[in-house]
Amino acid sequence: MMQKYIEKILRAKVYDVAEETPLDFAATLSEKINNKVYLKREDLQPVFSFKLRGAYNKIASLTPEQTAHGVIAASAGNHAQGVALAAKKLGIKALIVMPKTTPEIKIKSVKARGAKIVLHGDSYDDAYAHAMELVAEKGMTFIHPYDDQEVIAGQGTVGMEILRQHNGDIHAIFVPVGGGGLVAGIAAYVKFVRPDIKVIAVEPDDADCLNQALKAGQRVILEQVGLFADGVAVKQIGEEPFRIAQQYVDQVITVSTDEICAAIKDIFDDTRSVAEPAGALAVAGLKKYAEQQHLQQHTLIAIDSGANINFDRLRYVAERTLVGEHREILLAVEIPEVPGSFLRFCKMLGKRSITEFNYRYFDARMAQVFVGISSSGAENDRQHLIEQLAEDGFPVTDMTGNELAKDHIRYMVGGHAPFELKESVYSIQFPERPAALLKFLLSLGSQWNISLFHYRNHGAAFGKVLIGLQIDGEQRRRFEQCLSVLGLAYRDETGNPAYRLFVGGSEADGHR
């Protein structure tokens, strides 16, 4: 079977429209991690993503009868642009079904390449289901984003180019994974030609469908996926990619949102280009792997897979980068509510810089502050600081890995509720579109009293809300049932220490 893939990759017609992208040496990142790092610049494709390769190879393989009926795809981003450009190049009509949450910049980009667009639903799954209905109705050929042999072969040309461009020693190639088409194509080619080279898949730790499938020994469907790296936010690995990955992928590395943001900055430092979160995923995995394995002076290659990022998201990326680089520590610190305490706290920090300090008077005995502190980036620096603070009489709760604290609480520190509220708190994701916040509130109705609310637009397809309501018992069950009926992903945050320490009512944090 692998022989068949090699033949398909060698015969792939991708170069009618795609570029052979450079393999650039990342000098700054190489020096930082003491390894030789190269970036495969798929962000330089005409559609700023590798997706064009697989889309064109599939469409170019269609019969005259199939091309006469046209092609259809479901996508919110890079695959849509690849299908649109490929179809335009071949003179075939194309229809793209996109979720209504798709940013306007991506809709315009697809229209500019000649495809017709249908907006349907709030997610890829909604768009996919509608596309399947249109396939049956119009007789068009569906172009799958990853679970198709011709698509996989098209993406496999990335691996073929890497081995042609660098014929020396390569320790590992790091590949971002969503549905698995890219890693399957690269692994099939690389392991046939150079089985000594490791192929390492990289996934977000909140969207690790390949990782979970490999652990289970079969494909699984994730209950929900994180949406920061929206280009790889896939609930189930493709059937054919999984079959190949089981045989030829050496390892899966999962990375956090903060680590992805730091990798976006690393790519910018070396190339002066801005990768999308999914585009920087492989670099984040490369860095984490090199640190875990204590690698020195090895050749490591990462796929810079795309640069389709909304400008609005850069603010969020910048905010999370310092933590991702291990250069900022976020802490909740108790400080005695007496004159001179803050000065003593600052003196104890020595030459460390305070990057953020949030405080509001609430208790006559102790102050609870949310503080950001610069870090050297050394492996044990955070733990050493926490132990030092505790020894000096400043009890600490580490917030560096607390998503609620980073997404909401750090912007809300302004005081606890003045009395017991019997409050339940939830973080909720809802589709981001015009008037989305109003529609969300209307959908909840007026049956529950809202006691806390925080929302920030991050330029992504889904918005994040932190909401507190004065409910308990049966009302909690009814509220959660309402969210499920609305199809909204949610998490109960009532017990989260970030909430309890900074904005909870008196019963939440022990003050009575």
**What is the C-alpha separation between 346 and 354, in angstroms, rounded?**
8
Residue 239 to residue 241: CA distance in whole angstroms: 6
Closest CA to 493 of 433, 423, 430: 423
Structure token digits, residue 512: 């009575």
H-only helix segments in 167-276: 181-193, 209-216, 239-248, 257-271
Q: What is the DSSP letter of 351?
A: T
Which amino acid is it at 185? G
Strand partners, 96: 73, 117
Residues 158, 45: Cα–Cα separation, whole Å:
12
Task: Please answer whether residues 260 and 206 qualify as being in contact, where contact means their C-beta atoms are separated by less than 8 angstroms.
Answer: no
User: Which of 181, 179, 233, 175 shows the shortest CA–CA distance to 207?
Assistant: 233
Please tell me whether residue 462 adopts helix, strand or coil conformation: strand
Packed helices 209-216 and 239-248: angle between N→C axes, nearest 10 degrees: 70
Please give the positions annotated as active site: 51, 305
Question: If we measure between CA atoms, which residue out of 508, 503, 487, 500 comes closest to residue 453?
Answer: 503
Residues 6 or more apart in contact with residue 120 via CB below 8 angstroms = 97, 98, 99, 100, 126, 127, 130
CA angle at residue 317 from 488 to 400, to 5 degrees? 80
- Quickly count: other Cβ atoms within 10 Å of residue 68's Cβ: 11
Residue 243: how many other CB atoms lie within 10 Å: 15
Rounded-to-integer distance, Cα 440 and Cα 443, Å? 5
∠ CA 133-135-141, rounded to 5°: 155
Sheet of strand 328-336, all strands in order from the earlier edge strand to the far edge? 354-358, 366-374, 328-336, 396-398
Using DSSP's 3-state secondary structure scheme, residue 454 falls into strand
Phi-psi region of 370 (alpha: psi -120 to 50; beta: other; left: phi over 0): beta
- Residue 167 to residue 172: CA distance in whole angstroms: 13
CA of 314: how far to CAs of 88, 274, 279, 308, 503, in Å? 31, 9, 14, 12, 28
Nearest of 125, 84, 117 to residue 308 by alpha carbon: 84
Question: How far is 29 from 263, CA to CA, in rounded Å?
Answer: 10
